[in-house]
Amino acid sequence: MDASDWQPTACILCECNCGLEVRLGGEGGRHLVRTRGDRRHPVSRGYACEKAHRLDFYQHGRDRVLAPLRRRADGSFETLDWPTAIREVAERLARVRDTHGGASIFYYGGGGQANHLPGAYATATRAALGSRYRSNALAQEKTGEMWVSHRMFGASTRADFEHCDVALFLGKNPWHSHSIPRARVTLKELARDPGRTLVVVDPRRSETAELADIHLQVRPGGDAWLLAALGAVLVREDLVAHDFLRAHATGLEPVLAALRAVDIAAACERAGLDEALVRRTAGVLGRARALASFEDLGVQMGPNSTLVSYLHRLLIALTGSFGKPGSHFVPTTLVPFTGGAGKGKSPVAGATLVGGLVPCNVLAEEILCDHPARYRAMIVEAANPAHSLADSARLRAALASLDTLVVIDVALTETARLADYVLPAATQLEKAEASFFNFEFPRNAFHLRPRLLPPPEGPLSEAEIHARLGAALGAVDEATLAPLREAASRGRAAYAEAFMTRVMPDPRLMSQASTILYRTLGPTLPEPLREGAVLYGLALRAASKHGASLARAGFGGTPLEAAGALFDALLARPSGVVFAVDEWSQCFERIGTPDGRIHLDLPDLLETLGALCASPAEVRDAAFPFVLSAGERRSFTANTILRDPGWRLADAAGALRLSPADAAALGVETGGRVRLTTRRGSAVVTVEVSGTMQPGHVSLPNGLGLHYPTDAGEATTGVAPNELTAVEDRDPFVGTPWHKHVPARLEPVAPGEA
């Protein structure tokens, strides 16, 4: 292919995964020299933000791992060849399994913002090892919302901001964090249109709040009181959608009673908001033709987060904001996405598992103990928990104490440095990849990106790594694969027949389905798409489960025909495929509670609401008078995906933002330094004085404080937020952390202090 051609791919820096077109060039033709939004992408339709132009920093990190690594006794690494690495990793993990049981082998990660095929292939390795417990970043953000949503709706919902007349963002700054398609276009349209209202709840005057019609500049952590007040006004002024509730909901009475009991004035006071403004906002929400709302980290990582998720969902239900254009919906997904209303417990702490995930905040204590069921080994794949989980120091100690830690990553991350083995992965541009974050409605899309570049000598795709591990563990043998390979050579129909008769009836083989597909169907696919093989299995599942939705998108016929046509389309259309077309009325069929109705009454949470309203004014520890929001999304943050600090065109040091009043009191100006101390740690930080902050509230960006090689040795830029957070600060229901609400103090830095 001509190196000057524009080639389709996707941005990997946030969950939107905008379609991109890139031009390769530079040394060896391996650099991304030009980038633009891909107009053919069905969801992003040409949109991309400033971060997409910095992807070459990902492809060319200086700390790329190019060969398997094994830790020596002195702590340093030596390189290994692949056969040795695979054999030793398989042997060590099998030994842990045989000695302590497979449940003692923990799996963390599976994909970052855009690479979810590794998690699909890892299911085979996990099954071969009998590994039961797992987690990923969702269990420190979304599990409270998932838990509540599944109890109320029996499903996870999303919202249609393009067609709403009232948009509500709760602890969410989509101008920078996106999470909704074409966020800035949508926000500007909302702001410009006098017939539509943009409501933002944020203690900071965020970039999104700046565009809002109503900015509720809540006191940090005050959201539960605000939502209680909004709900109470809806009930008192009878702005409740009675017809909708009669048709679709159950359990209204206890909710009405609880909300009637809320002292609106006291709740507004506690939220730090003007009662008249809260009442006006309730009126706007209650009279909306179509309300779309989104809660995110500002509330999900703060005190009362699960109660907030509940009150937020009550607001959606009480206003009838479900199942009509511009409101909330349940999307058709190609991949069964983590759901679950909290079945099962973690083995040591007995924490509730939501979507099968162990709360990130209990991980360290489930390793650092002498409980017989503690985790003894761990596979970390495409995640950096030593940086991203609360209390990094404690997590480092936990990871270091494991019998075996295996890390599968592209870079020598903070987590990889602690590993016994590092298995180097091909980058997301060096293999076929896909994101499972596809939540659009009524037309949902999926994007299988062909690889742009062959990997250099050394790294392998996760599909290949897991297939090799499976073989070494004896989970799949040649005798199983050969007839499937032979069938694949005779065409898709013969393959499907062989897969259905040989693999599907055998649970042991089904547990290895992903790597079997890769080893047998994969070789028949064009090389740049080979890792897409697992999608055939997912297409089969979607065709049998969502036949009508697929048919409306053009993939009709028998489930086998539909799956085949969809799989072929995914392979043939490198800018993405609309795979499901739905109707709004279907949302009601997707309410997954046993009686098919929305359950409003969750007694445990109503009780929590009662206790909240009865609780006295906020008490802050005098030793820690500030609230630190640890991990804000900014223009140049992208979790820890881009490790080279040179990628940032602004805010290079990741400044601590604080209000002008607090800066004046401390005698510090922008560019100055202060000491920031929490109960868990202390750091000297660069300051940015910002009128967007309210007094008493300070914020640090996420993704900083990474160790990165430079010509002069290793450098660390900015502060790693989780050196300052504590595992105990977590939600009582689902264990999500309070990263946005860390008690802190600031002190002037003594002259000469580092």
Q: Which does residue 293 bind out of ligand SF4, ligand MGD, none, counting CB within 5 to 8 angstroms by kind?
A: none
- For the window 419-458, what string marks contact with ligand MGD as x by the rule CB under 6 A? ------x-xx------------------------------
Q: Which does residue 444 bind out of ligand SF4, ligand MGD, none, counting CB within 5 to 8 angstroms by kind?
A: none
- For the window 487-526, what string marks contact with ligand MGD as x by the rule CB under 6 A? ----------------------------------------
- Output the smallest distance, CB 392 to ligand MGD, in A: 9
Of the candidate residues 183, 408, 525, 683, the single one contacting ligand MGD (CB under 6 A): 408
Given the complex with ligand SF4, which of 16 and 612 has the nearer CB atom?
16
Query: Scanning residues 6 to 45, which ones bind ligand MGD (CB under 6 A)?
Result: 14-15
**The amino acid at 619:** V
Residues whose CB is less than 8 angstroms from the CB of residue 473 and which lie 6 or more positions away in sequence, other chains included: 90, 93, 94, 125, 128, 129
Report whether the peptide linkage leading into residue 442 is cis, meaning its omega lies within 30 degrees of zero.
Answer: yes
- For the window 280-299, what string marks contact with ligand MGD as x by the rule CB under 6 A? ----------------xxxx
Give the C-alpha separation, 269 to 341, whole Å: 34
Residues that bind ligand SF4 (CB under 6 A): 11, 13-14, 16-18, 48-49, 51-52, 178
CB 176 within 8 A of CB 144: no
Interface with ligand MGD, residue 64, by CB under 6 A = no
Interface with ligand MGD, residue 739, by CB under 6 A = yes
- Output the smallest distance, CB 708 to ligand MGD, in A: 12
Given the complex with ligand SF4, which of 132 and 188 has the nearer CB atom?
188
Q: Would you call 411 exposed, middle or buried from its count of C-beta atoms within 10 A (0-12, 13-18, 19+)?
A: buried
Give the C-alpha separation, 347 to 366, whole Å: 8
Give the C-alpha separation, 226 to 209, whole Å: 17
Instruction: Look at strands 6-10 and 626-632 and give their pairing.
Output: unpaired
* CA 161, chain centre distance (Å): 20
Hey, what's the torsion of the CAs at 266, 268, 273, 274, to 10 degrees? -80
Give the C-alpha separation, 280 to 197, whole Å: 12
CB under 6 A: which stretch of 33-41, 266-274, 443-451, 721-729 binds ligand MGD?
721-729
CB 460 within 8 A of CB 426: yes
Query: Scanning residues 220 to 239, which ones bind ligand MGD (CB under 6 A)?
Result: 220-221, 223
Interface with ligand MGD, residue 688, by CB under 6 A = no
Q: What is the CA radius of gyration of the chain?
A: 26
Give the C-alpha separation, 554 to 19, whole Å: 22
- Output the smallest distance, CB 639 to ligand MGD, in A: 3
CB under 6 A: which stretch of 228-236, 328-336, 382-390, 656-664 binds ligand MGD?
382-390
The CA distances from residue 408 to 85, 120, 394, 419, in Å, are 12, 14, 21, 10
Of the candidate residues 352, 361, 640, 686, the single one contacting ligand MGD (CB under 6 A): 640
Interface with ligand MGD, residue 631, by CB under 6 A = yes
Interface with ligand MGD, residue 112, by CB under 6 A = yes
- Output the smallest distance, CB 751 to ligand MGD, in A: 30
**The amino acid at 71:** R
Tokens in use for 315? 């607001």
DSSP 519: H
Given the complex with ligand SF4, which of 449 and 492 has the nearer CB atom?
449
Given the complex with ligand MGD, which of 480 and 659 has the nearer CB atom?
659
Given the complex with ligand MGD, which of 112 and 442 has the nearer CB atom?
112
- Output the smallest distance, CB 273 to ligand MGD, in A: 11
Residues whose CB is less than 8 angstroms from the CB of residue 215 and which lie 6 or more positions away in sequence, other chains included: 199, 200, 202, 205, 209
- Evaluate the CA torsion angle 494, 498, 499, 504 in order and state its sign: positive
**The amino acid at 174:** P
Number of residues near ligand MGD (by CB under 6 A): 62
Interface with ligand MGD, residue 470, by CB under 6 A = no
Question: Listing from the earlier edge strand, what are the strands of the sheet with 166-170?
Answer: 214-216, 197-201, 166-170, 291-295
**The amino acid at 584:** W
- SS3 label, residue 135: strand
Q: Which does residue 736 bind out of ligand MGD, ligand SF4, none, counting CB within 5 to 8 angstroms by kind?
A: none
Given the complex with ligand SF4, which of 22 and 166 has the nearer CB atom?
22
Given the complex with ligand MGD, which of 512 and 692 has the nearer CB atom?
692
**The amino acid at 362:** V
Q: Which does residue 302 bind out of ligand MGD, ligand SF4, none, counting CB within 5 to 8 angstroms by kind?
A: ligand MGD
Q: Which does residue 430 bind out of ligand MGD, ligand SF4, none, counting CB within 5 to 8 angstroms by kind?
A: none
**The amino acid at 196:** R
H or E element at residue 449: strand 448-449
CB 140 within 8 A of CB 149: no
Q: Please identify which residue in the block is written with the tokens 């980290």.
A: 297
- Output the smallest distance, CB 26 to ligand MGD, in A: 20
CB under 6 A: which stretch of 83-91, 175-183, 327-335, 612-620 binds ligand MGD?
175-183
- Output the smallest distance, CB 43 to ligand SF4, in A: 10
Tokens in use for 666? 């401390």
CB under 6 A: which stretch of 122-130, 166-174, 228-236, 744-752 binds ligand MGD?
166-174
Interface with ligand MGD, residue 320, by CB under 6 A = no
CB 749 within 8 A of CB 675: yes
Q: Which does residue 11 bind out of ligand SF4, ligand MGD, none, counting CB within 5 to 8 angstroms by kind?
A: ligand SF4
Residues whose CB is less than 8 angstroms from the CB of residue 505 and which lie 6 or more positions away in sequence, other chains included: none
- Output the smallest distance, CB 16 to ligand SF4, in A: 4
Given the complex with ligand SF4, which of 514 and 637 has the nearer CB atom?
637
Give the C-alpha separation, 138 to 405, whole Å: 21
CB under 6 A: which stretch of 284-292, 493-501, 532-540, 636-644 binds ligand MGD?
636-644
Given the complex with ligand SF4, which of 51 and 552 has the nearer CB atom?
51
Q: Which of 360, 332, 202, 337 is nearest to 273 (CA)?
A: 202
Buried-state track 217-244, b at ≥16 Cβ within 10 A, e below 16:
bbbbbbbbbbbbbbbbbbbeeebbbeeb
Interface with ligand MGD, residue 309, by CB under 6 A = no
Q: Which does residue 408 bind out of ligand MGD, ligand SF4, none, counting CB within 5 to 8 angstroms by kind?
A: ligand MGD
Binding site for ligand MGD (CB under 6 A): 14-15, 112, 115, 118, 137, 140-141, 170-173, 176-179, 201-204, 206, 218, 220-221, 223, 296-299, 302, 381-385, 388, 408-411, 413, 425, 427-428, 462, 629-633, 637-641, 702-703, 721-722, 725, 739-740
